[in-house]
Amino acid sequence: MNINRLAAKLGEERQGQFMRSAVWTEAAHRGMTWQVAAKDKLAVREAATRLSADAAAVLAWMLRLFAATPVEGDKLLKEIRRNAALSGAECQVALAELEEAGILFAVRKVWGESLYFIPPDTFAPWQQAMIPFRPEPLAPREREKLMNGEMEPNCRPLGRQLLSAFAALAACGLGLTSKGTLNKKTISKLTESAELDDRQLLPFGLNWPHREHYPLKAAFILEAASAEGLLMTTADSLRWNVPAFGRWLELNEEERERRLLDWCLSMLLPACGSGAHAAAAIIGLKAGEWYAEREVSRFLGSSGIAAFAAEDAERDSAGLWCALFHALGWLERVESRSGGERQFFFKWVIDTDMDGAKSIVEEQAAPFRRWINVQPSGELIAEPECPFTARWELELLAERVSDERVTVYRLTASSIARALENGRTRQSIRRFLHDASGGEGIPREVEEMVADWTSRACRTSFAEAVLLRCDNEQMAAIVESHPVIAPLLLEKLGPAAFIVDPAHVGEIRRLLQQAGYPPRKGMQAADAADEARPYPDMVMFGDPAPGPEREVGKCLTDSPFAYVYETFPLHHFELAANAARERLLASAANRGSIPAMWTKQLREYHSSTRKELIEQALQWQTPVQLRMKQGLRSFVPERLEQKDGGWAVIGLLRDEPERQPIRLTPDMWEEMRLVIPGRSDPI
Amino acid sequence: MRDRYDKPLIVQSDLTVLLDESKPDAWQAREKLVLFADAVRRAGTVHTYKMSALTLWNAASAGICGDEICRWLTEYGRYELPFQTEAAVRKLSGRYGKLRLTTDGGKLLLHGDLDVMEELAHSASVTCFVLAKRSPDIWELKKEERGSFKQELTRLGYPVIDLAGYHAGEELSVRMKPITSAGGRPFALRDYQRAAVELFYKEGTVQGGSGVIVLPCGAGKTVVGIAALARNSRATLILTSNGTSVKQWKEELLDKTTLTEQEVGQYSGTMRQVRPVTIATYHILTHRSSKDAPFSHMKLFSERDWGLIIYDEVHLLPAPVFRMTADIQATRRLGLTATLVREDGCAEDVYSLIGPKLYDMQWKTAETEAYIAAVSCTEIRVPLHMDKEEPYREASARSKLRLAAENPGKMAIVRQLLREHEGKPTLIIGQYLNQLHEIADRLGAPLLTGEMPQQERQRLYERFKEGAISVLIVSKVANFAVDLPDAAVAIQLSGSFGSRQEEAQRIGRLLRPKKGDNSAWFYSIVTDETKETEFAMRRQLFMLEQGYRYDRMNMPIGALAEGDGAP
């Protein structure tokens, strides 16, 4: 469950409480809301310095042991106690601190078990803050390795790949088969239009419905649309959520990629177990610098993370993530071979920091200028900054020839016919080309091309009443004068329409085609509203007032994970507010009374009292302080041993370098006291 | 990023470079760009250039290194130079000059940088040419396989500088004449022609002697070839694309050099003259009696001790001639062409067997400098003749095109254009013989088709050249190197759909510089509202990409004079 979905469940009051936690002091000071601060690298880095030592230890161990995978409360406590040498009560207090700051969350399963999780979109910033990875970028003198290496082919950023896929989907039609899936041809067009490959996605352990129909790539693309709220499902077809789609197209490219990266991580991190660590390490690196993949693997080993990922030991998680990020157009990757040694290097080409995206948004607000260059040959060259609203239209009007930094499209007779089929007209096409090219005149040759191509295709259309409509009287005259068509026209309606026998529709279509006037395909529907159109018009150049209301549709939009199963569907469970604090309060209530001195002062006690104190510590899962020969020591008791009339306690001496359980008999310390976590009693 | 918005180049990672001509530094950027990239499309304000191994090696052979190219791309680039491009440019350019062929006591030697030689040592397709390794960086090669070895290295992506030299060939006394024989006009090479010849000849050293010169149609490629021949003064074999061209080479040689009739032989059609300068067609060289028989005329390569072979229209060079050329690498070789773009992907063979590009002049540059005529192109749309409307509607797709192409309504336009350009040498070009015969009858103008015997054709050319006839109607024979002199007007009645270059070739016939205002006119007459418009658009694409613009005129039905359009 990511931050946005949590925010929708939590309410503003609760989010406000998070921000009042001391942890977020700096972020609150800068006016950040929890929703923003929770994912912001800097805010998280600052927050990490303000965590109590126990909370920091608990969080670091949770990240290290379970990555972004949700974990049952008991298991979490057990593993952290074992590794962090904290007592149970200390863990509970630390968990409560993390919950109260909106860093960790728990859901309540049946039978009262709880599942703890870190929102997947905050996993990377927290890992980067708690287990920092700061490798040196490749030195300039080492760039020779890159120059001599093999660069992996360029992939377009995911947003552009999705745009092409959505355009292909729209052009094919959004109808669903009786099984509720898109038809084969549409799926194939959809997948062809994006470079991403199943091979890069499969290692991440995703699961998805309709596997027999949808390859993972298709499910991934549809899931992206669904997660962004762009598609809705009706009984027999998908439909665009036009306002949401419009807003998505209007996003600045950097921002869109950043959102897609977040979405991708939210879906994949919980699914891939300890593989998530590599992703978090990689995305924390600086854009524009080259790094060696093996540095990431080294880091995973040296930071102790790899040791807890035995089941994944064979997997090169850094390589898998780099290959995926490369396929999504977010990083460049070079394979270098020298002396039989094979090495990969990578460089981020998008800025994974939100701050970067913001500065570019501001830049994008620059005055309107030429987005495309219309060539007399019919080529349309789209500038890198060309907004997606214009690209969406270009995908319809023209064939994409190449798409890199600039995108080259070419107007063709069939692309213009496709545009007419989707409700565009000669005038609207001309207006678009004119506006998108910054008001520069369209070359005469292109005007003429468009005029020619629009003058033939789709000049006629069939209506529900089975009416043969012509676009003007001249066309009607051509139809009327056709020796074979004329007898099939039952009645003329107005200057340019005829009623025809439904049985003759096919025949008339054929004859018109033969005569060189191919009619518009299919039957024109009575309601041609934007939402119903497979290829809605999104262009609003120079139109200051937003046309369609571009608010995200709420009730109709597909919910996320409609096309790819969520690995841990936590939203099915009840979100537990402050689960750890509740447990603490419950155990405090059960504590009953003990002598105040047991916690307040270090004292020598009789062996039997010493045993009582230890029993109490075991019951409350608290540590004890012991004055031993070596000085004041912190001890976490684990169990009591009764032997030969005597007793001993097994537990961890926290400051021992070897974290092995140790056996203490009561004569081994001089003074002692109980330590209640969360209470600031003097020693 | 924004402060670079005015920079003219956009560099893509697939080695494509877009030049935005509307930006302030575009001119300077273009001057650099043409040194290491080929222009692919020049329509509108954004022109497309493409770098490749060959363009980069051609640049390297002219002394331009990868660092310099990357610096220019960065300096004029609107965005950061893609790493992929930088790496590819440095890698490809860096390979140039690392391998050299020399001779030592009659042995052919390969010298190379150790790292490259190590890489090559692993390649069986290279080591099979090696006779002995004198040292890790000097290998002795099979001398007779010099060409094949170069081809293989180019294929593997390693250019080799061939300094193994040439044998001189049979001496020939020949000079350029300051006054032409035929017209008695003063004659001198233009500066760019002289520069091109010098780049080829390089004072007769091993650094010169092989390569390709690229000049637009009409800019005097033949003259460059003749000047190179004169500069070398050795027996020369000239290979060209057809019989007409053979004759024209001969005329030019006799007109502009001291060579005599007895010294210039023609080797084509029925002629088999092997003389100190011999002109042959590719066609005859690749002739054989059956599919498996040997090429009976390929022996021409060894019939004399040629000191130079000139490959005219080198972009048309057929594969068997490449194979033969591989065996004669010790002979100087000059390629001449208007375009290095080959549809068959044999550009690498041109590079390895003929040599690198030595000189290149863009069409539009030549036009600006008035080295070629300025051609204005116009498409004229005419309505389908009313008698053809019904048959057109009912015809199959194929017949529809023919009906539109043969639209009798075009006749009136032809007459009108002839009136407008009266007295100017005019070609009327068409695809369908019936239509051409009919127009020839109506205009009383001669018709030249493929069926016409060569002698008859030649006679017609002569009369056209002399001005005795000002209108010549030609079938598609005009597509192929029929260098009709001084046609100033071309009227295209119909053309084919498939050939991208057909229109370019037809316009090419008009490009020779003209007296007076140096202008020429190309008209394409197309039947409106028919499939022909689509065909016409496709044919125009190549010229549009070369930077030419088409005007369009629509002829309303009423504009057709009575009687002109009757079928």
Nearest to B545 among A147, A377, A448 (CB): A377
Residue-level pLDDT at B186: 86
**CATH architecture label of A460-514:** 2-Layer Sandwich (3.30)
From chain A, pick out residues whose CB is under 8 angstroms from the CB of B87. 146-147, 149, 151, 334
* Same-domain status, B226 and B286: yes
Would an 8 Å CB–CB cutoff place B43 in contact with chain A?
yes
CB contact under 8 A, B83 and A151: yes
Task: Provide the pLDDT confidence category of residue B559 given band limits of 50, 70 and 90.
Answer: low
Chain B residues whose CB is inside 8 A of the A363 CB are 1-2
Q: Same domain, yes or no, for B356 and B396?
A: no
In sequence order, the 6+-apart residues with CB closer than 8 A to the CB of A230 are: A166, A240, A241, A244, A245, A248, A557
Which CATH number do you get for residue B330? 3.40.50.300
In this complex, the residue of B18, B20, B544 whose CB is nearest that of residue A377 is B544
Cross-chain Cβ contact B83/A516 below 8 Å:
no
For B320-345, how does the pLDDT look when each residue is reduced to its tens digit (9 = 90+)?
Answer: 888 888 888 889 999 998 766 655 66
Residues 6+ apart with CB under 8 A from A256: A159, A248, A388
Let me know whether B84 and B130 are in one domain. Answer: no
Residues B331 and B398 in one domain: no
Asked whether residue B184 is domain-assigned, the answer is no
At B482, the pLDDT band (50, 70, 90 cuts) reads very low
Report yes or no on B564 lying in a domain.
no
- Write down the pLDDT at residue A452: 85
Query: What is the ipTM score, two decimals?
Result: 0.71
Q: Mean per-residue pLDDT for B39-53?
A: 84
The stretch A34-57 carries a mean pLDDT of 87
The token pair that represents B380 in the structure block: 């004229």
Q: Which class in CATH covers the domain with range A597-674?
A: mainly beta
For residue B180, is it within any domain? no
**Chosen CATH of A3-130 out of 3.20.20.150, 3.90.330.10, 1.10.10.10, 3.90.1150.10:** 1.10.10.10
Q: What is the pLDDT of residues A5-19, one digit of tens each?
A: 888 788 888 888 888
Give percent of chain B with pLDDT exceeding 90. Answer: 42
* Among A379, A402, A513, the residue to mutate for chain B (most B Cβ within 10 A): A379
Q: Residue B132 sits in which domain range?
A: 99-162
Residue B565 token pair: 């359009």
**B369 token code pair:** 């400098």
Q: Nearest CB to A376: which of B392, B393, B544?
A: B544
Residue B162 in this model has a pLDDT that exceeds 50: yes
Residue among B12, B43, B551 minimizing CB distance to A375:
B43
pLDDT tens digits, one per residue of A272-318? 878 888 888 999 898 888 999 988 888 888 877 755 554 555 567 88
Give B539's contacts in chain A (Cβ within 8 Å): none
Inter-residue contact A155 to A162 (CB < 8 Å) = no
| Dihedral over Cα of B257, B259, B261, B263: its sign | negative
What's chain A's average pLDDT? Answer: 82
- Tell me what pLDDT residue A556 has: 43
Q: Does the pLDDT of residue A420 top 80, yes or no?
A: yes
Assess whether B330 and B239 both reside in one domain.
Answer: yes
pLDDT at residue B2 in the model: 42
The last residue of a domain, from among B95, B113, B143: B95
For residue A571, is pLDDT > 80?
no
Q: Which of A146, A375, A452 sits opposite B46 (nearest CB)?
A: A375
Binning pLDDT at 50, 70 and 90, where does residue B100 land? very high
pLDDT bracket for residue A588 (50, 70, 90)? low
Residues of chain B with pLDDT > 70: what percent? 92
Residue of B nearest to A483 (CA): B390
Nearest CA in chain B to A370: B5
Residue B499 has pLDDT above 70, yes or no: no
User: How, if at all, do strands B271-272 and B264-268 pair?
Assistant: antiparallel
Give the per-residue pLDDT at A224.
92
Partners of A378 on chain B (C-beta within 8 Å) are 541
Same domain, yes or no, for B58 and B42? Answer: yes
Residues B30 and B105 in one domain: no
Structure tokens at B220: 């005097």
CA distance A356 to A358: 5
Which of B10, B394, B549 shows the shortest C-beta gap to A405?
A: B10
Question: Touching check for B79 and chain A: CB below 8 Å?
Answer: yes
From A299's Cα to the closest Cα of chain B, the distance in A is 27
Alpha-carbon A230 to chain mean position:
15
Can you tell me the mean pLDDT for B203-209?
84
> Is the CB of B459 inside 8 Å of chain A's CB atoms?
no
Helices (H) and strands (E) in chain B, counts: 22, 24
Q: Is B150 in the same domain as B250?
A: no
B238-297 pLDDT per residue, tens: 999 877 788 889 989 999 999 999 999 999 888 899 999 999 999 899 988 888 888 888
Query: pLDDT digits over A108-151, tens only?
Result: 877 767 888 899 888 989 998 888 888 889 888 888 788 888 88
Q: What pLDDT sits at residue A357?
A: 41
Within 8 A of A452 by CB-CB distance, chain B residues are 533-534, 537
Best of A143, A147, A511 to disrupt the B interface (most B CBs within 10 Å) is A147
**Number of Cβ pairs closer than 8 Å across A and B?**
94
Chain A interface includes B552 (CB < 8 A): yes
How far is A44 from A66, CA to CA, in rounded Å?
19
pTM: 0.74
Least confident piece of the model among A63-72, A126-135, B308-317, B544-553: B544-553
* Residue B123 resides in a domain: yes
Query: Is residue B167, in this structure, part of any structural domain at all?
Result: no
Give the other-Cβ count within 10 Å of B529's Cβ: 17
Residue B433 and residue B391 share a domain: yes
Distance, in Å, from the CA atom of B204 to the CA atom of A238, rounded to the nearest integer, reads 74
Query: Where residue A429 falls among pLDDT bands split at 50, 70, 90?
Result: very high
Would you say B189 and B222 are in contact if contact means Cβ atoms under 8 Å apart? no
**How many separate domains does chain B show?**
4
Averaged pLDDT, A503-514: 89
The answer to whether residue B515 is domain-embedded is: yes
B329-363 burial, b at 16+ Cβ within 10 Å, e below that, comes to: bbbbbbbbbbbbebeeeebbbbbbbbbbbbbbbbb
- Residue B567 in any domain: the answer is no
Q: Are B237 and B293 in a shared domain?
A: yes
Q: Hey, are the CB atoms on A445 and B394 less than 8 Å from each other?
A: no
Residues in A lying within 8 Å of B, measured between beta carbons: 146-149, 151, 154, 332, 334, 347, 363, 366, 373-379, 381, 384, 402, 404-406, 413, 443-445, 448-449, 452, 455, 482, 514-516
Tell me the average pLDDT across B108-127.
92
Q: Based on the fold, state whether residues B270 and B392 are members of the same structural domain.
A: no
Residue A181: which H helix or E strand, with range?
A: none
pLDDT in tens, B432-444: 999 999 999 999 9
Classify residue B394: in a domain, yes or no: yes
The pLDDT value given to residue B563 = 46
Contacts by residues A625-632 (CB-CB < 8 Å, ≥ 24 positions apart) = A625/A672, A625/A673, A625/A675, A625/A683, A626/A664, A626/A669, A626/A671, A626/A672, A627/A602, A627/A669, A627/A670, A627/A671, A627/A672, A628/A668, A628/A669, A628/A670, A632/A602, A632/A683
Q: Residue B310 — very low, low, confident or very high, per pLDDT cuts 50/70/90?
A: very high
Chain B residues closer than 8 Å to A376 by CB:
43-44, 544, 549
Structural domain boundaries of chain A? 3-130, 142-348, 369-455, 460-514, 597-674
The answer to whether residue A360 scores a pLDDT higher than 50 is: no
For position B348, what pLDDT does the model report?
Answer: 80
d(CA B281, CA B241): 5
Testing the interface with B: which of A375, A383, A416, A447 to mutate, by most B Cβ within 10 A? A375
- Mark yes or no for CB contact A379/B2 under 8 Å: no
**Nearest residue, CB atoms, A376 vs list B12, B16, B549:** B549
Report how far apart, in Å, the C-alpha atoms of B309 and of each of A567, B209, B322, B481 are: 72, 10, 12, 19
Q: Which of B14, B87, B530 sits opposite A146 (nearest CB)?
A: B87
Chain A contact present for B554, CB below 8 A: no
Give residue-wise pLDDT tens across range B169-194: 999 999 999 988 876 778 899 989 99
Q: How many Å separate Cα A486 from the centre of its chain?
A: 59
> A381, B46: Cβ pair inside 8 Å?
yes
Closest among A355, A456, A346 to A41, alpha carbons compared? A355
- For B552, the closest of A334, A448, A455 (CB atoms) is A448
Residue B497 DSSP symbol: S
Mean pLDDT (chain B, rounded): 86
**H-helix segments, B361-479:** 363-368, 386-394, 397-405, 410-420, 433-443, 454-466
User: What average pLDDT does this structure show over A449-474?
Assistant: 80
Same domain, B70 and B146: no
The more confident residue out of A235 and A120 is A120
Final residue belonging to a domain, choices B339, B365, B391: B365
Q: Residue A544's pLDDT band (boundaries 50, 70, 90)?
A: very low
